[in-house]
């Protein structure tokens, strides 16, 4: 049998799944067979490449060529021209998109190192990338504290939002005395626009399994639990496959690698409650109780799942562990900033050309991410704001573009790192409406246990709703500020303590928009319908009646060949009149 010389990788992430990547992979395999190349060319489904808006994606591994927007009819040309004749299909190349030319130049993949590179359902491919080597080193050392010291020295901090030092959390749990301890992987990623952890589990599940086993040995735990939301079917499927393979090869179960160490992993499913991303709420949910947070202390490291010492880290945090063990704490600590070491995975979304997944060193600026890696704002629009940290974060403006991104700088700017969601907004976005959108999400996701969050956020939302309806006053702006600070200071958990951040950051950075809404009763972005007015210019209107005939509520009156008029009391601001007018006689005031 001929040795496989060339590999064609098809992106197998959720985004590309929605674009029928399985059809691409199947047709590509068939084309390879038709050309008699199946013994020297292998087609393989991988994890996410990070170019989520450019799929389906095919990568020719031997010369690192990436084709974007691939359609079934393109496959024959790719095989004949590139694989057989050695000529790249230039119209499909990644570099053919000017926005993508610098996409990967400033990235550094550590957590995402294997995503889009290996088959996540084949443990042998993970072996080829030093898979389970770190676990072997840890077990061979027979010194759990040495492992903890490595993680502490690396400076790794939790990537789930809080930024707590990972090594310190491990050490606290290791020193807690109990007959049973647990390692928990928090895969309950619920921020709007966030898909970092999901992509890691879809593309490299073994890295998380290996890290959990390492953590188990370090803290003295024999059981691991992955709390993953049920809305992630592909991640669940690949994680199950990886766990079964790890058991078959002896990396989970009893007497792992002959070391006498026992460790196994179970999956627990969440129902999509955002508050269950908070570790105490997550633990209660795993126990079969209502997903509500509790006061700390005691911290889970002392009393967590079933009252036993429990170490909770998120997916991205675990994905860094094997590399740190293999390459050393000094290597990892040399990346990033003084207090924020290593890299961070971000999910870029919103009004940006290159929507997708990126991993960058800590300390890179927002400008570099948005304008270089992200390819700038869509349709040449002007940048307005970027929301970092999801509903718990804040909206940063142009003055923050050169801020180095790390835990402390983002908090100082009025936002936070969060789990890594990054939503970009342009000149067409209304920041009052944006704040209201996030408050609406928080109100829906509050567990209702504490009064400040349950009632306070509802009152915040009602004030914002009043402002966007054109009924707000200057006094309402004072109420927004005061209530926001009360909620932050008195809420039980991180959800309530950070929920006012979008309100406070937009008040700070877009005060003039709030003033316009409550004094002039105007939304400069024309996003608040109650503040919009469709006006007919009598000089431009020819009386064709097209607008009146298409108005669903009969708000437009006028005789044929005479200028028409819109009754603002009836108009529902649907825009049908402007869409049908051929004479540009209708505008928004």
What band does 1 get if pLDDT is binned at 50, 70 and 90? very low
Give the model confidence (pLDDT) of 502-547 as tens digits.
999 999 999 999 999 999 999 999 999 889 999 999 999 999 999 9
pLDDT at 102: 64
In a domain, 308, yes or no: yes
In a domain, 527, yes or no: no
Question: Which among 16, 193, 211, 184 has a CA at the least distance from the CA of 113?
Answer: 211
Q: Are residues 253 and 329 in the same domain?
A: yes
pLDDT at 39: 87
Average model confidence (pLDDT) for the chain? Answer: 93
Q: What are phi and psi of 356, to 5 degrees?
A: 160, -160
Complete DSSP assignment for 249-299:
TTSSBSSGGGSS--BEEEEEEE-S-GGGGSHHHHHHHHTTS------SSSP
Residues 464-473 have a mean pLDDT of 96
In a domain, 505, yes or no: yes
CA distance 199 to 33: 30
The domain boundary, picked from 96, 111, 135, lies at 96
Q: Are residues 162 and 53 in the same domain?
A: no
Give the model confidence (pLDDT) of 161-212 as tens digits.
788 999 999 999 999 999 999 999 999 988 887 889 999 999 999 999 999 9
How many domains, the chain?
5
In a domain, 280, yes or no: yes
Residues 127-144 have a mean pLDDT of 96
Q: Are residues 414 and 270 in the same domain?
A: no
What band does 366 get if pLDDT is binned at 50, 70 and 90? very high
CATH (domain of 471): 1.20.1440.230
Q: Are residues 295 and 415 in the same domain?
A: no
Instruction: Report how far Cα 139 is from the mean position of its chain's Cα atoms.
Output: 34
CATH (domain of 85): 3.40.30.10
Q: Are residues 329 and 257 in the same domain?
A: yes
In a domain, 290, yes or no: yes
Give the model confidence (pLDDT) of 486-495 as tens digits.
999 999 998 8
Residues 94-108 have a mean pLDDT of 76
CATH (domain of 138): 3.40.50.11540
Q: Are residues 74 and 190 in the same domain?
A: no
Residue 112 CB neighbours (<10 A): 27
Q: Are residues 512 and 539 in the same domain?
A: no
Secondary element (H or E) of residue 578: helix 576-580
Q: Are residues 372 and 459 in the same domain?
A: no
Give the model confidence (pLDDT) of 3-44 as tens digits.
667 899 999 988 888 888 899 999 999 999 999 998 899 999
Does residue 151 surpass a pLDDT of 80? yes
Q: Are residues 329 and 355 in the same domain?
A: no
Q: Are residues 131 and 144 in the same domain?
A: yes
In a domain, 382, yes or no: yes
Tell me the C-alpha to C-alpha distance, in Å, between residue 280 and each of 163, 285, 286: 16, 9, 10
CATH (domain of 384): 3.10.20.600
pLDDT at 37: 92
Does residue 57 surpass a pLDDT of 60? yes
Residues 91-119 have a mean pLDDT of 85
What band does 414 get if pLDDT is binned at 50, 70 and 90? confident
pLDDT at 103: 67
In a domain, 250, yes or no: yes
pLDDT at 310: 98
Enclosing domain of residue 488: 431-520
Q: Are residues 321 and 385 in the same domain?
A: no
What band does 101 get if pLDDT is binned at 50, 70 and 90? low
CA distance 242 to 248: 10
What band does 555 get if pLDDT is binned at 50, 70 and 90? very high
In a domain, 113, yes or no: no
Residues 71-92 have a mean pLDDT of 94
Q: What is the percent of the chain with per-residue pLDDT over 90, rounded to a whole number? A: 85
Please give the structure tokens belonging to residue 343.
């890299």
Q: Are residues 511 and 545 in the same domain?
A: no
The domain boundary, picked from 271, 306, 333, lies at 333
The domain boundary, picked from 291, 306, 333, lies at 333
CA distance 186 to 568: 51
DSSP symbol at 453: I
């Amino acid at each position: 049998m001929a040795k496989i010389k060339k590999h064609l990788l098809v992106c197998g992430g959720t985004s590309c799944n929605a674009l029928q990547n399985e059809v691409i992979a199947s047709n590509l395999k068939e084309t390879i067979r038709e050309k008699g190349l199946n013994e020297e060319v292998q087609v393989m489904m991988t994890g996410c490449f990070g170019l989520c808006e450019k799929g389906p994606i095919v990568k020719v591994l031997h010369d690192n060529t990436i084709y974007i927007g691939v359609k079934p009819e393109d496959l024959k040309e790719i095989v004949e021209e590139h694989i057989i004749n050695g000529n790249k299909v230039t119209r499909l190349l990644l570099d053919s998109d000017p926005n993508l030319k610098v996409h990967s130049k400033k990235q550094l993949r550590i957590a995402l190192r294997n995503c889009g590179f290996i088959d996540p359902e084949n443990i042998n491919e993970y072996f080829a990338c030093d898979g389970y080597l770190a676990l072997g080193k840890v077990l061979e050392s027979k010194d759990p504290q040495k492992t903890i010291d490595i993680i502490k020295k690396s400076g790794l901090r939790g990537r789930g939002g809080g930024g707590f030092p990972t090594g310190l959390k491990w050490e606290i749990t290791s020193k807690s005395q109990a007959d049973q301890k647990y390692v928990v992987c928090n895969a309950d990623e619920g921020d709007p626009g966030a898909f970092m952890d999901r992509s890691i589990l879809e593309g490299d599940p073994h890295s998380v399994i290996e890290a959990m086993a390492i953590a188990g040995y370090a803290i003295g735990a024999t059981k691991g639990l992955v709390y993953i939301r049920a809305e992630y079917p592909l991640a669940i499927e690949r994680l199950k496959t990886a766990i079964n393979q790890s058991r078959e090869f002896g990396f989970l179960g009893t007497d792992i690698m002959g070391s006498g160490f026992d460790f196994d992993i179970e999956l627990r499913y969440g129902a999509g409650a955002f508050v269950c991303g908070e570790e105490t709420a997550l633990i209660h949910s795993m126990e079969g109780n209502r997903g509500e947070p509790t006061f700390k202390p005691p911290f889970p490291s002392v009393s967590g799942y079933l009252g036993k010492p429990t170490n909770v880290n998120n997916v991205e945090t675990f994905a860094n562990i094997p590399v740190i063990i293999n390459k050393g704490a000094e290597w990892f600590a040399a990346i990033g900033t003084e207090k924020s070491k290593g890299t961070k995975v971000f999910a870029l979304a919103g009004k940006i050309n290159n929507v997708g997944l990126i991993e960058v060193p800590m300390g890179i600026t927002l400008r570099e991410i948005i304008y270089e890696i992200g390819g700038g704002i869509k349709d040449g629009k002007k940048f307005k704001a970027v929301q970092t940290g999801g509903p718990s974060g804040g909206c940063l403006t142009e003055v923050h573009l050169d801020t180095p991104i790390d835990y402390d700088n983002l908090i100082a700017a009025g936002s936070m790192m969060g789990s890594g969601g990054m939503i970009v907004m342009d000149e067409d976005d209304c920041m009052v409406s944006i704040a209201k959108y996030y408050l609406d999400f928080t109100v829906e996701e509050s567990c209702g246990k504490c009064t400040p969050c349950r009632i306070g956020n509802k009152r915040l939302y009602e004030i914002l709703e009043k402002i966007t309806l054109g009924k707000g006053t200057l006094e309402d702006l004072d109420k927004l500020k005061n209530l926001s600070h009360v909620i932050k200071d008195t809420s039980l958990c991180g959800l309530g303590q950070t929920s006012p951040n979008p309100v406070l950051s937009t008040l700070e950075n877009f005060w003039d928009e709030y003033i316009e809404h409550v004094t002039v009763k105007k939304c400069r972005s024309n996003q608040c319908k109650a503040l919009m007015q469709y006006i007919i210019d009598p000089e431009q209107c020819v009386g064709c009646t097209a607008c009146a005939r298409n108005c669903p509520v009969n708000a437009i009156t006028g005789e044929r060949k005479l200028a028409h008029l819109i009754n603002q009391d009836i108009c529902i601001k649907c825009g049908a009149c402007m869409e049908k007018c051929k004479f540009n006689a209708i505008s928004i005031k």
